[in-house]
A and B are shown apart, each in its own frame.
Chain A
Amino acid sequence: MIFGEHCVIRAAEPDDAPALKRVYHPGKPRAATLDRRREPILPTTDELRELLGNKDVKLLGEYYAVEDATGEIRGFCCLRAGRQDVFFGEMLLMFIEDADLGTGMAGETFAFLKHKAFMERRLNKIVAQCLDTETDLRVFLVQQGFQSDGVAREVLYTLGRWFDNETLSLFASQHEDA
């Protein structure tokens, strides 16, 4: 467990599945919840319970729950960096409420992931994705020093429209602690 000033970060457990399910909101697509074909998925609580207990998934990138001071889960995060020949990790930062991205919780969660990526895993860079509607997440990422790699156009069709997907990166060399 990581005890921060604003939140507690701990490894997610199967019992956290109901909270994780809230992130998969069908009316609010997020890049972090799309599958490899960039299709939105609507997992059941049981499927998420299985995901959070799956050892293979943990090897690829463990999910962490972010709790506020009252013990309520406010979001999840993950750093996917499985393959040995890859020198970057993909960051998933998923708060149930976007407003939390503007709080100290998000800052502490990102500091945790950044330390994991650059200090523990010695990765070259962190990559993050956001859809064109995830403006709060994009603002947060840019504030943390991420720079845009570009926008893949019209990659997702849902809610009756096309969505663009932006990729952003933060290099270890840009990270002051690296």
Chain B
Amino acid sequence: MALRSNIFIRRAEREDLDTVVEWMEDPDFQLFLYGDVTRSQRQIREQIVGLLGRAPGHTMPAAFQLILDSETDGPVGLVLLQNVSWRNRACSLDVYVGQKNLRKGIVIGLAFYRIMEYCFDELNLHRVSAYIYSFNSPSWRIMERSNAKRELTLKDHVVRNGQLHDMYGYGLLKREFDELRENLKGRMEGKSLIEMIDALHAKEEEAGA
């Protein structure tokens, strides 16, 4: 199914392979996403082929590979819902926006909102987790603005560019996402998540001032 707006989310197809591999070859991909930085291009490609080649018709898959698509820009990003536990109704989330000019603001904010709607309303999940490096502030800010809680701070947990960095563990429960939706009631149409939440925060600050 496609959740449509200015951008929409759809299942990743085999035809997306070259685009996704191209994103993965970008040094930023390995900088921001969890994984072994010493993987070769061949290993990366094999991993992607493995991801996109998984049995699509499975009723309870362990992972979902989604593409953030745009009517104007084409495929702009990759969403991985992994380690899906149907028992615990939980999954872990990785989002990568390939087009650097779209990484902040409207695209990722609205996409994130749509992804959460998909997780909670369509997949009936209870919890979405995300591990984000401390230096990836645009990503963890989106989590925090979306009512997710920073549950873990794993100090000096990962090495990137020869330095140890902290890693944050975020958890977003369905009831917390529902609270966000309630707060945004009536203001969602035509606006991005970030714009709406920022406006809400600004209003609250004004009221508190």
Residues of B within 8 A of A (CB): 36-38, 62, 83-85, 87-90, 126-127, 129, 149-159, 164, 169, 171, 173
Chain A positions within 8 Å of B153 at CB level: 149-150
Within the complex, which residue of A87, A150, A152, A154 is in contact with B164, where a contact is CB–CB below 8 Å? Answer: A87
From known contacts A39-B85, A39-B87, A153-B173, infer whether A83 and B36 are also in contact, taking CB-CB under 8 Å.
yes
Report if A169-B158 is in contact (Cβ < 8 Å); known contacts: A39-B85, A154-B126, A156-B88: no
Q: Which residues of B contact A156 (CB under 8 A)?
A: 88
Q: Is A110 an interface residue (CB 8 A)?
A: no
**A124 and B156 within 8 A (CB):** yes
Q: Is the CB of B158 within 8 A of A86?
A: yes
A36 touches B83 (CB 8 A): yes
Given contacts A38-B90, A39-B85, A39-B88, are A153 and B158 in contact (CB under 8 A)? no
A87 touches B85 (CB 8 A): no
CA A54 to CA B4, docked complex, whole Å = 48
Q: Please, how many angstroms separate the alpha-carbon atoms of A37 and B127 in the complex?
A: 12
Q: Nearest Cβ in chain A — how far from B81, in angstroms?
A: 12
Answer yes or no: A157 CB below 8 A from chain B CBs. Answer: yes
A33 contacts B by Cβ under 8 Å = no
The answer, among A84, A85, A124, A152, for a CB contact under 8 Å with B151, is: A152
Shortest Cβ distance from residue B133 to the other chain A in the assembled complex, whole angstroms:
13
Q: Does A151 reach chain B (CB closer than 8 Å)?
A: yes
Chain A residues within an 8 Å CB radius of B129 = 152, 155
Q: Told that A37-B83, A149-B169, A157-B88 touch, could you supply 5 new A-B pairs with CB distance under 8 A?
A: A83-B36, A125-B156, A150-B151, A155-B90, A158-B87
A38 touches B85 (CB 8 A): yes
Kindly state whether residue A171 has any CB partner on chain B within 8 Å.
Answer: yes
A-chain residues with CB within 8 Å of residue B62 when the two chains form the complex: 37
Chain A residue numbers with a CB within 8 Å of B36 are 83-85
Verify A167–B152 contact, CB threshold 8 A.
yes
Which 5 A-B pairs rank lowest in CB-CB distance, beginning with the nearest? A150-B152, A37-B85, A37-B83, A150-B151, A152-B151
* Chain B hits for A86, CB < 8 A: 158-159
10 contacts between A and B (CB under 8 A): A37-B83, A37-B88, A39-B87, A84-B38, A85-B37, A85-B38, A125-B156, A151-B152, A153-B127, A167-B169
Contacting residues, chain A, for B173 (C-beta < 8 A): 153-154
- Is A88 among interface residues, defined by CB-CB distance under 8 A? yes
Q: Which residues of A contact B152 (CB under 8 A)?
A: 149-152, 167
Known: A151-B151, A153-B173. A38 touches B88 (CB 8 A): yes
Interface residues of A in 108-155 (CB under 8 A from B): 124-125, 127, 149-155
**Residues on the A chain within 8 Å of B127, using CB:** 153-155
B127 to chain A, nearest CB (A): 6
How far is B90's CA from A39's CA once the two chains are assembled, in angstroms? Answer: 10
Q: Are A153 and B149 in contact (CB under 8 A)?
A: yes
Of listed B36, B88, B153, residue having the most chain A CB within 10 A: B88
Least distance between B25 CB and chain A CB atoms (Å):
18
Are the CB atoms of A149 and B154 closer together than 8 Å?
yes
